[in-house]
């Protein structure tokens, strides 16, 4: 039992280190930092300007700025994580790593770990933009609560991303799924407008994505709500994230077996 | 003669690849499509003109996204295939090869835009009444050419470094903001004006608005002014591209790193 | 080469003091600059109709040399001319007239068919429009790919891909063909077919420069060979000439099972042993020991191996491989 836990941790850690090294071999640190700083900036800018132009009384600049700041986590957690399997397939390393006895969960969650850190950093920077460039008022904000929202959202969305990457394992492309879900977030997660704007039959989708709860909680925290006040929302977010992770793991095992039967594992 | 043949055969080559795997279009339809829907949601309490405004913006984003994405992707695709060296070893100049591909990608840009138009119209049931259809399609056509030219410029960065996809990812949103796809450029800070105006899509969207929305007042130069600016910019881009490609090709031969994925 | 072929006097490839340095930097904050001397002042020339081989271990500079001659790399110094055109100054002229076969798994557009690949390159090489389809059929027939030419390349086997590489390299009917390890990764049948094709091309009057590290292939095909190691040419001659470098050498071939690397080291340490090459298969090992006098050395060798399982010991003629080995080891 102890040996298995130890192996798990080992696989987990070395997958995380591998992911970090792989990222920095591909993307030099200056480029990475540049990406970190620019991704959220223009996205927030875009929607802030549209909001200002349209002047819809329901939706303020603050609403949009905070929403997009949180949503920027998706670039890293959803997009990058989802593409993990795609990259492995493309490099041809999927077959070799799946032929090891290493625990799959440890491997993939380990690789995603770095993106969680990435995601948190992205969101924090985005919130700085919101405060200093777009004039969002943080004077009443509960910073602790806000911080916790970010961390939980990063984890939950990574779980979501892992679920998507499992789907990508089976289909020939995780790139398309990653793209779809990256931007679906803009529509469904209460980022730029409340979920209530969507037609009734689509709203359940929103509540299946952890980000929806995250944007809500973030706005409440910026407004001054304490951790206690948003604990219900956060609890739901954690739940949805865990369900996604579990689903992802189940799908992963299922798809692994299916692709072993059908021989589709290294078809890119 | 080789040059023209390189152009036409690369156009055909890109077309073949497109039909081999058309689903690769999806990634660069999704972003502008979703953005359009979001904008339409935001605009929903506004009057009819606003909606067409949003749809035009979405179409432009679709075309732009396709240009920047495909110009980069086609070079990266060659890198992954290992064919970049093979292509470099032919007597056909690289810039003409990429130009052929850029033209095809621009054409697909229309598909992008049309898709967005159709879905937005069907979903939101907005009557798509263009003020002057002929001028509109002319504006669309010229915009596409200038986008292809701009894509050509960006491609040179990709020959230089495999990391250039940071450029594509990084430029997507700034361009949506800087070219005023969903709001007037006038709203942006004054210092960004020259930057915005150096990009063809800024003039393109303005021309399309002039020809589609009756009573629209945009940039001072009016519709024909916009068109002239786009043509001038296209020439500038193409010239820049030729110069860049010469430099870039030389550099990769000196450094010898083009074969690395 | 047993066939009589016309080898002209005009020099089709001329390389003079060619140097290539790669510069790279690693690390982000403390940049470590590294300079690698890949090709160190090599000179040679190839006549029309010749098959010139370049032999060497991995990393010796073979591929770098070919890339320079095919205009993919600019030399750091020195000059290289193909058909009279300088590769740095007139790359366009060079590219028009040469064919390049750098094979492998990559280097083809795998989502389209073989024929479509050839069509594209035919256009890029400027093959006259009217001739294009016929030329494509001709090269496909030459490499025996006509039946599968309309299938997607991603469905081709390794051997088929290599054949398509060759077809692609011939699509512009080049005067000079550069081949980088053309039979690597091919099964014996495919390798044999490739070698036959190479001979046919020579009969047609084409000039070929080929890199390889298969000795028997170099021996069988090449008119002249250059052995390259660590960026320098250590020997250049006909295969026979190179073999004659070994005229004072005998080879004792030891066959055994259970022989290990330790045994190889032991043999190398025996005074009088010039070099040892080993083929270590699971069930059988073959060691080729190069010595000056087989008569004298049989006993010491047998003695050092007395504990191991030796099946047979024979005295053999040195081959090109032995010559190569000796040259490379001597210059290490």
CATH number reported for the structural domain that contains residue C80 in this entry: 3.40.50.300
Tell me whether residue C3 is in a domain: no
Q: Are residue C153 and residue C128 in the same domain, yes or no?
A: yes
Q: Are residue C281 and residue C139 in the same domain, yes or no?
A: no
Q: Are residue C189 and residue C321 in the same domain, yes or no?
A: no
A208, two tokens = 């299946």
- Highest mean pLDDT (candidates A23-37, B150-164, C192-206): C192-206
Question: Would the pTM count as exceeding 0.90?
Answer: no
Which chains are within 8 Å of C by 3+ CB pairs? A, B
Answer yes or no: is pLDDT of B196 > 50.
yes
Average pLDDT of chain C to the nearest whole number: 86
> What residues contact C14, with CB distance under 8 A and at least 6 apart?
C45, C79, C80, C81
The residue from C242, C266, C282 where one domain ends is: C242
Q: Which residue has the higher pLDDT, A8 or C196?
A: C196
Q: Are residue C270 and residue C233 in the same domain, yes or no?
A: no
Tell me whether residue C2 is in a domain: no
User: Predicted confidence band at C34 (pLDDT cuts at 50, 70, 90)?
Assistant: confident
Q: Which residue has the higher pLDDT, C103 or A250?
A: A250
Mean pLDDT value across residues C240-245: 84
HEC secondary structure over chain A: CHHHHHHHHHHHHHHHHHHHHHHHHHCCHHHHHHHHHHHHHHHHHHHHHHHHHHCCCCCCHHHHHHHHHHHCHHHHHHHHHHHHHHHHHHHCCHHHHHCCCCCHHHHHHHHHHHHHHHHHHHHHHHHHHHHHCCCCCCCCCCHHHHHHHHHHHHHHHHHHHHHHHHHHHHCCCCHHHHHHHHHHHHHHCCCCCCHHHCCHHHHHHHCCCHHHHHHHHHHHHHHCCCHHHHHHHHHHHHHHHHHHHHHHHHHHHHHHHHHHHHCCCCCC
The residue from C189, C211, C242 where one domain ends is: C242
CA distances from C112 to B13, C21, C152, C162 (A): 9, 37, 5, 16
Q: What is the pLDDT of residues B33-78, one digit of tens each?
A: 888 888 888 887 776 677 788 888 888 888 887 777 777 777 878 8
The residue from C218, C242, C266 where one domain ends is: C242
Q: List the single range of B228-232, B256-260, C92-96 with lowest mean pLDDT.
A: B256-260
Q: Are residue C103 and residue C171 in the same domain, yes or no?
A: yes
Asked if B43 and A187 come within 8 Å (Cβ–Cβ), the reply is: no
pLDDT 10s digit of each residue in chain A, 268 long?
777 777 777 777 777 766 666 655 555 666 666 776 787 888 899 999 998 888 888 888 999 999 999 998 887 787 777 766 666 665 556 666 666 666 666 767 777 777 788 889 889 999 999 999 888 888 888 888 999 999 999 999 988 888 888 877 766 667 777 778 878 888 899 999 999 988 889 899 999 999 999 999 999 999 888 888 888 899 999 999 899 888 888 887 887 777 666 655 555 4
Average pLDDT of chain A to the nearest whole number: 80
The full DSSP string for B214-232 is: TT---STTHHHHHHHHHHH
Tell me whether residue C228 is in a domain: yes
Q: What is the rounded CA–CA span in Å between residue B97 and residue B24? A: 21
Answer yes or no: is pLDDT of C197 > 60.
yes
> pLDDT value at position A263?
57
Which chains are within 8 Å of B by 3+ CB pairs? A, C
Q: What is the rounded CA–CA span in Å between residue B178 and residue B192? A: 8
Q: What is the rounded CA–CA span in Å between residue A149 and residue B2? A: 60
Q: What is the rounded CA–CA span in Å between residue B241 and residue B157? A: 10
> pLDDT value at position C331?
65
Tell me whether residue C196 is in a domain: yes
Chains A & C: contacts with CB separation below 8 Å: 3
Tell me whether residue C1 is in a domain: no
User: Which alpha helices (DSSP H) does chain C contain, by range?
Assistant: 62-69, 91-97, 114-124, 129-142, 158-170, 188-203, 215-221, 239-244, 261-269, 294-304, 320-330
Q: What is the rounded CA–CA span in Å between residue A181 and residue A160? A: 10
> pLDDT value at position B250?
86
Report, in angstroms and rounded to the nearest whole number, the Rg of chain B calculated over CA atoms. Answer: 19
Asked if A50 and B174 come within 8 Å (Cβ–Cβ), the reply is: no
Q: What is the rounded CA–CA span in Å between residue A241 and residue A250? A: 14
Residues of chain A with C-beta less than 8 angstroms from the C-beta of B35: 46, 183, 186
> pLDDT value at position B207?
92
CATH number reported for the structural domain that contains residue C275 in this entry: 3.30.70.260
Answer yes or no: is pLDDT of C3 > 60.
no
Residues of chain A with C-beta less than 8 angstroms from the C-beta of C28: 28-30
Q: What is the rounded CA–CA span in Å between residue B254 and residue C74? A: 5
Q: How many domains does chain C have?
A: 2
Answer yes or no: is pLDDT of C157 > 60.
yes
> pLDDT value at position A103?
66
ipTM confidence score: 0.85
Q: Are residue C35 and residue C111 in the same domain, yes or no?
A: yes
Tell me whether residue C71 is in a domain: yes
Q: What is the pLDDT of residues A105-133, one digit of tens each?
A: 676 777 777 778 888 988 999 999 999 98
Q: Is A50 on the interface with B (CB under 8 A)?
A: yes
Mean pLDDT value across residues C121-131: 90
Range of the domain at C63: 11-242
Query: In chain C, whose CA is at the least distance from the CA of A267?
Result: C154
Q: Is A24 on the interface with B (CB under 8 A)?
A: no
Q: Are residue C323 and residue C310 in the same domain, yes or no?
A: yes
User: How far off is chain C from A28, nearest CA to CA, in Å?
Assistant: 8
- B8, B20, B89: residue with CB nearest C71: B89
**Do B190 and B184 contact (CB within 8 A), yes or no?**
no
> pLDDT value at position A95?
61
> What residues contact B161, with CB distance under 8 A and at least 6 apart?
none
> pLDDT value at position A2?
78
Residues of chain C with C-beta less than 8 angstroms from the C-beta of B6: 123-124
Asked if C107 and B17 come within 8 Å (Cβ–Cβ), the reply is: no
Q: Which residue has the higher pLDDT, A54 or C223?
A: C223
The residue among A34, A51, A54 with the most chain B CBs within 10 A of its CB, best to mutate, is: A54
Q: What is the rounded CA–CA span in Å between residue A102 and residue A18? A: 15
Which chains are within 8 Å of A by 3+ CB pairs? B, C
Q: Are residue C192 and residue C289 in the same domain, yes or no?
A: no
Q: Is C28 on the interface with A (CB under 8 A)?
A: yes
Answer yes or no: is pLDDT of C123 > 60.
yes
Q: Are residue C165 and residue C212 in the same domain, yes or no?
A: yes
Q: Are residue C230 and residue C261 in the same domain, yes or no?
A: no
């Amino acid at each position: 039992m102890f040996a298995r836990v130890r192996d798990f941790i080992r696989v987990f850690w070395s997958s995380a280190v591998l992911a970090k090294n792989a990222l920095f071999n591909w993307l030099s640190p200056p480029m990475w930092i540049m990406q970190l700083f620019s991704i959220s900036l223009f996205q927030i800018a875009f929607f802030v300007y549209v909001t200002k132009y349209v002047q819809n009384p329901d939706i303020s600049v603050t609403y949009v700025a905070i929403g997009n700041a949180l949503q920027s986590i998706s670039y890293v957690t959803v997009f990058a994580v989802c593409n993990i399997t795609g990259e492995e397939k493309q490099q041809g390393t999927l077959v070799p790593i799946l032929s090891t006895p290493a625990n799959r969960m440890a491997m993939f969650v380990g690789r995603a770990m770095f993106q969680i850190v990435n995601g948190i950093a992205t969101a924090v920077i985005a919130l700085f933009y919101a405060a200093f460039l777009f004039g969002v008022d943080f004077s009443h904000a509960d910073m602790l609560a806000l911080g916790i929202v970010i961390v939980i959202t990063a984890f939950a969305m990574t779980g979501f991303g892992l679920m998507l990457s499992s789907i990508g394992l089976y289909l020939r492309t995780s790139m398309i799924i990653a793209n779809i879900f990256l931007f679906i977030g803009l529509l469904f997660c209460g980022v730029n407008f409340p979920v209530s704007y969507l037609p009734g039959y689509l709203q359940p989708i929103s509540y299946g994505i952890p980000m929806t709860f995250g944007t809500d909680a973030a706005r409440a925290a910026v407004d001054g709500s304490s951790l206690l006040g948003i604990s219900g929302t956060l609890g739901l977010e954690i739940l949805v994230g865990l369900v996604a992770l579990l689903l992802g793991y189940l799908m992963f095992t299922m798809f692994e077996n299916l692709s072993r039967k059908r021989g589709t594992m290294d078809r890119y | 003669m080789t040059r023209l043949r390189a152009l036409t055969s690369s156009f055909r080559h890109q077309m073949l690849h497109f039909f081999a795997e058309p689903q690769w279009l999806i990634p660069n339809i999704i972003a502008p499509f979703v953005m359009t829907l979001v904008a339409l949601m935001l605009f929903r309490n506004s009057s009819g003109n606003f909606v067409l405004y949003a749809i035009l913006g979405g179409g432009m984003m679709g075309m732009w996204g396709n240009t920047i994405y495909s110009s980069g992707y086609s070079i990266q695709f060659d890198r992954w295939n290992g064919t970049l060296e093979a292509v470099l070893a032919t007597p056909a100049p690289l810039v003409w090869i990429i130009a052929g591909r850029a033209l095809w990608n621009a054409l697909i840009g229309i598909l992008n835009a049309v898709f967005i138009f159709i879905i937005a119209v069907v979903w939101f049931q907005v009557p798509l009444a263009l003020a002057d259809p002929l001028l509109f399609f002319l504006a669309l056509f010229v915009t596409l050419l200038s986008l292809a030219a701009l894509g050509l410029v960006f491609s040179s960065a990709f020959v230089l470094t495999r990391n250039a996809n940071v450029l594509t990812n990084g430029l997507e949103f700034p361009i949506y903001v800087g070219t005023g796809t969903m709001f007037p450029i006038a709203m942006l800070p004054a210092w960004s004006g020259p930057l915005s105006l150096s990009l063809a899509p800024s003039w393109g969207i303005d021309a399309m608005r002039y020809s589609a929305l009756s009573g629209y007042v945009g940039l001072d130069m009016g519709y024909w002014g916009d068109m002239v600016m786009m043509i001038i910019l296209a020439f500038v881009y193409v010239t820049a591209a030729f110069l860049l490609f010469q430099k870039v090709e030389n550099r990769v031969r000196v450094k010898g790193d083009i074969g690395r994925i | 080469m047993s066939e009589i072929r016309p080898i002209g006097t005009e020099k089709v490839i001329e390389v003079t003091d060619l140097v290539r340095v790669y510069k790279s930097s690693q690390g982000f904050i403390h940049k470590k600059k590294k300079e690698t001397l890949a090709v160190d002042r090599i000179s040679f020339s190839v006549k029309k109709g010749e098959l010139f081989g370049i032999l060497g271990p991995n990393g010796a500079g073979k591929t770098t040399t070919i890339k320079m001659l095919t205009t993919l790399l600019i030399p750091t110094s020195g000059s290289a001319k193909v058909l009279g055109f300088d590769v740095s100054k007139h790359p366009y002229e060079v590219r028009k007239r040469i064919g390049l076969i750098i094979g492998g798994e990559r280097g083809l557009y795998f989502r389209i068919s073989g024929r479509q690949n050839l069509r594209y390159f035919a256009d890029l090489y400027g093959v006259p429009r009217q001739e294009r389809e016929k030329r494509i059929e001709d090269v496909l027939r030459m490499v025996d790919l006509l039946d599968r030419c309309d299938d997607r390349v991603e469905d081709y086997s390794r051997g088929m891909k290599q054949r398509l590489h060759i077809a692609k390299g011939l699509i512009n009917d080049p005067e000079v063909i550069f081949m980088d390890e053309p039979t690597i990764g091919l099964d014996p049948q495919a390798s044999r077919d490739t070698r036959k094709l190479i001979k046919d091309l020579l009969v047609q009057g084409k000039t070929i420069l080929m890199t390889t590290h298969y000795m028997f292939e170099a021996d069988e095909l090449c008119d002249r060979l250059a052995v390259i190691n660590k960026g320098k040419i250590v020997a250049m001659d006909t295969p026979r000439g190179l073999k004659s470098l070994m005229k004072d050498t005998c080879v004792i071939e030891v066959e055994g099972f259970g022989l290990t690397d330790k045994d190889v080291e032991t043999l190398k340490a025996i005074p009088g042993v010039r070099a040892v090459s080993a083929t270590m298969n699971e069930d059988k090992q073959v060691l080729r020991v190069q010595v000056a006098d087989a008569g004298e050395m049989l006993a010491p060798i047998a003695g050092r191996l007395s504990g191991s399982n030796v099946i047979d010991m024979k005295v053999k003629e040195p081959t090109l491989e032995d010559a190569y080995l000796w040259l490379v080891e001597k210059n290490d």
